């Protein structure tokens, strides 16, 4: 196989509900930012836990973000987008 025959890797959509089910089944999930313990799947889905993908790392990674930390995560991202847009 030549390198020219290798196709670019497609980014698969992340199904938050399925990912929460899988992570909750281990009983070991924690919020990436505050280290809050992930509850059972029914509570996690109802409370608004999120599963996010970290791009640009050597190894594909996903992180858990609790509902309390989600607003904190969104603010820096919005500020960075505004700077990039020249605002």
* Residue 67 and residue 49 in contact, taking contact as beta carbons nearer than 8 Å: yes
Which pLDDT value is given to residue 42? 86
Tokens of 68: 């309390």
Angstrom distances, CA of residue 5 to CA of 8, 9, 10, 30: 10, 12, 15, 40
Does the reported pTM lie above 0.85?
A: no
pLDDT tens per residue across span 10-42: 556 778 888 888 888 888 899 999 999 999 988
Cα–Cα dist 65/63, whole Å: 7
């Amino acid at each position: 196989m030549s390198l020219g025959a290798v196709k670019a890797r497609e980014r698969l959509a992340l199904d938050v509900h399925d990912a929460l089910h899988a992570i909750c089944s281990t009983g070991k999930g924690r919020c990436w930012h505050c280290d809050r313990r992930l509850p059972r799947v029914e509570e996690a889905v109802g409370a608004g836990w999120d599963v996010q993908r970290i791009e640009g790392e050597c190894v594909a990674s996903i992180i858990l973000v609790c509902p309390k930390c989600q607003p904190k995560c969104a603010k820096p991202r919005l500020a960075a987008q505004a700077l990039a847009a020249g605002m």
